[in-house]
Structure 1
Amino acid sequence: MSTNQRKSSTWNHAPELPLQSMPYWYWPPRPWAVLRWLFENFLQVSDRALFLVYSFVIAFWLMPFVPAEAALSWDWATLVLLRNMVAVLMVVGGLHIWFYGIDVQGNVLRFDARPITGRKNALFLFGYQTWDNMFHTLVYGVAIASGFEIAIRWAYANGWTMPLSFSESPVWFVLLFPLLTLLQGIHFYLIHRLIHWPPLYRHVHSVHHRNVNVGPWSGLSMHPVEHLFYFSSLLNFFVLPAHPVYMMFLLHWQMLGAPTGHSGYEAVFARNKARILIGGFFHQLHHRYYECNYGSPEFPLDKWFGTYHDGTEEMTAVIRDRKRRMHAK
């Protein structure tokens, strides 16, 4: 996975522009392009591939779903919270130290070279962006994500859903992983548009948008109400016939994927190669220009509803004009 630094007048680094649609949406269909993309993102070293492996470790070995969870108990519920706290501290804290602490990578593959920390700013809790972000992530984000996991574990143990195994439906078992990221993209677009409604934006979503230039701790730095909206995609598992490993994957895709997607870098770069793909430029554009890219690259709702920013200067002018018209009403 070698890569080149691509600078522009706006960005320290940007992927190849304009941003392209995911291969799922090519017309006419290009099945080989879809398979190649799935292989690169699920079976090579990327954040989602690592989340997938970790989910199998949790669901089948470290903390499998067991009948004893039919009774709510502080014993196992506390372990869920503790496990998620450790995972966030290791992943998010590790990325922050790598990128912004010991600064191993410098500005290589960094989208926006402006600092995310520095002088005190009264906009942030405790006066600093990183401290503010850590507080909202660890105090609210991990607790609310863990609450959803605990509730779904309880539902599984009480037979609310009927999990399917690989032997029962091997094709469905494999395809549901990428399908979940598509469904999450739809959910994210809908709740994200909702919290950009001015009253909700002002009282809720503005907490997240304090971060114009983002870092790993920015990913889950939200008002607790937004955390409830964000993790509500997990409620699908109260009715979806799916093995618990899918719930763990979606949980990690959101709980750990938001921080990697907000890291401010395209990849972890070491020894002249991009070692772990983490992406995030699509959403970096949202933090810079606000009224665009509400969803995810997985599902083209932004294109269909006219809120898509492909990273080009031409589209920046279009989005800025759209913002002016919105605020003039």
Structure 2
Amino acid sequence: MDDLQFGTRNKRGDWAPKEPLQIASSWAVPFRLGQFLKFIPGYLFPWNAFHIATALLYWFYVVPPVETLQTLSWGWALWLYAVNAAAIFALYGSVEFFWYVKRKQGTRFKYNGKFPADQPSDVFWFKSQNIDNFLRSFFISIPLWTLVEVIFLYAFAKGYVPWLTWSANPVYLAALVLLCPVIHEVHFFCIHRLIHTDFLYKHVHSVHHNSVNPSPWSSLSMHPVEGFLYHAVALWHLVIPSNPIVAMFQLHVAGFGAVNGHIGFDKLEITEDTPLESHAYAHYLHHKYFEVNYGGDGLIPLDKWFGYWHDGTKEAEARMEARFEAKKARANAKR
């Protein structure tokens, strides 16, 4: 595909889409039913449908029987960790292998024209972003993902929280499934903005931001505090009446869905004429500028409401720079 039909490339080789980012059309004012109906398929497919499918596969083929879950055991906890690690290795690893190792589409649609493997740095373990990100994912974040999984499965199995059944609550649970991406977006915005405060950024979140040019392995490369807070979104289903399958879907939106913002390409060319939209641009801009787009890609426009939204345009750049200057002036005034 010719990526210059869809965007522009600067002298450094960085690509950017021509069209500015838009918040979800469901927020259009005035409300337009036609736009909302067009929004629904993109909301469900392919990513949320994929996460629903993986949640069902886990529940029927991976999660042990309820009787087993009622007793905390290293056996079933390690089994869940092994499956989580294998699944992430397969999903993230396939993108990493084809688009970053084999470089099957070169830098077409790639936001940053360089590849992390070509940029060794002392900020990473072994001076390698890929090795550093891989090790942090598999030995920090995925164990914490599994810890959250163990907590909610055990709580449901022991009856510590209500376990709503699908037969008795089909409409409510279906609606809750549809709201899971919304819950994720609000939770992510809140914890993400929190760990961008000065102390927590320096001691926690800076680990993730070392990857200015993110790749799939960067997705779960986090400090332990961030890794737990990020996956703890599934624990909301111990607070609101829910079902363990819905909680599993919520966890997969976070765990498997983290790759979306870190793919580094706007489109993945599955075949010559079949692109897969990554929805990565909003979060790429966050990695590039640090203090914009704390949430997702505008499903719930919290960034726009709070003044952090960057849609990739020069106007957004000017607003960001003005905000940075005002912040610098406030800091200087306190000295």
TM-score range, shorter chain: over 0.9
Match of 1:298 in 2: 299
In the TM superposition, what are the counterparts of 1:132-281 in structure 2 within 5 Å?
A: 132-281=132-281
Measured against aligned partners, the alpha-carbon deviations of 1:151-187 in whole angstroms (never above 9, x if no partner) come to: 1110010112223334333332332223111111111
Q: Secondary structure at the match of 2:242?
A: coil
Cα offset, 1:73, TM superposition: 1.2
Residue 35 in structure 1 maps to residue 37 in structure 2: yes
Measured against aligned partners, the alpha-carbon deviations of 1:64-117 in whole angstroms (never above 9, x if no partner) come to: 662320110122111111110101111111111111011112122222212222
| Change in CA separation of 1:169 and 1:35 when aligned onto 2, cut-off 3 Å | farther
Question: For the residues of structure 2 that align with 1:269 and 1:222, how far apart are their CA atoms?
Answer: 28
Q: Secondary structure at the match of 1:168?
A: coil
Q: Which protein, 1 or 2, shows the higher relative CO under an 8 Å CA cutoff with sep ≥ 6?
A: 1
Question: For the residues of structure 2 that align with 1:85 and 1:233, how far apart are their CA atoms?
Answer: 19
Cα offset, 1:275, TM superposition: 4.4
| Change in CA separation of 1:144 and 1:159 when aligned onto 2, cut-off 3 Å | same
Q: Secondary structure at the match of 2:311?
A: coil
| Change in CA separation of 1:251 and 1:106 when aligned onto 2, cut-off 3 Å | same
Question: For the residues of structure 2 that align with 1:20 and 1:8, how far apart are their CA atoms?
Answer: 21
Match of 1:108 in 2: 108
Cα offset, 1:210, TM superposition: 0.7
Q: CA RMSD in A?
A: 2.2
**Structure 1 range deviating more: 282-291 or 316-325:** 316-325
Letter paired with 1:288: K
Letter paired with 1:323: F
Cα offset, 1:119, TM superposition: 4.3
Question: For the residues of structure 1 that align with 2:78 and 2:32, how far apart are their CA atoms?
Answer: 47
Cα offset, 1:189, TM superposition: 1.1
**Structure 1 range deviating more: 67-76 or 197-206:** 67-76
**Structure 1 range deviating more: 203-212 or 271-280:** 271-280
Kept in 1, the 8 Å contact 2:163–2:241? The answer is yes
| Change in CA separation of 1:33 and 1:240 when aligned onto 2, cut-off 3 Å | same
Letter paired with 1:303: K
Unaligned runs of 5+ in 2: none
Question: For the residues of structure 1 that align with 2:19 and 2:65, how far apart are their CA atoms?
Answer: 44
| Change in CA separation of 1:31 and 1:175 when aligned onto 2, cut-off 3 Å | farther
Match of 2:22 in 1: 20
Match of 2:321 in 1: 320
Count of aligned residue pairs for this structure pair? 327
Letter paired with 2:261: G
Cα offset, 1:9, TM superposition: 4.1
Q: Secondary structure at the match of 1:14?
A: strand
TM-score, with structure 1 as normaliser = 0.92
Cα offset, 1:310, TM superposition: 1.1
| Change in CA separation of 1:48 and 1:16 when aligned onto 2, cut-off 3 Å | farther
Letter paired with 2:59: A
Q: Secondary structure at the match of 1:117?
A: helix
Letter paired with 2:35: A
Kept in 2, the 8 Å contact 1:59–1:65? The answer is no
Match of 2:76 in 1: 76
Q: Secondary structure at the match of 2:159?
A: coil
Letter paired with 2:153: R
Cα offset, 1:260, TM superposition: 2.9
Q: Could you tell me the percent identity over the aligned residues?
A: 33
**Structure 1 range deviating more: 209-218 or 177-186:** 177-186
Measured against aligned partners, the alpha-carbon deviations of 1:9-33 in whole angstroms (never above 9, x if no partner) come to: 4884434522111022122223443
Q: Secondary structure at the match of 2:269?
A: strand
Unaligned runs of 5+ in 1: none
**Structure 1 range deviating more: 26-35 or 253-262:** 26-35
Kept in 1, the 8 Å contact 2:26–2:39? The answer is no
Kept in 1, the 8 Å contact 2:260–2:278? The answer is yes
Measured against aligned partners, the alpha-carbon deviations of 1:206-227 in whole angstroms (never above 9, x if no partner) come to: 1111111110011111111111
**Structure 1 range deviating more: 263-272 or 220-229:** 263-272
Q: Secondary structure at the match of 2:72?
A: coil
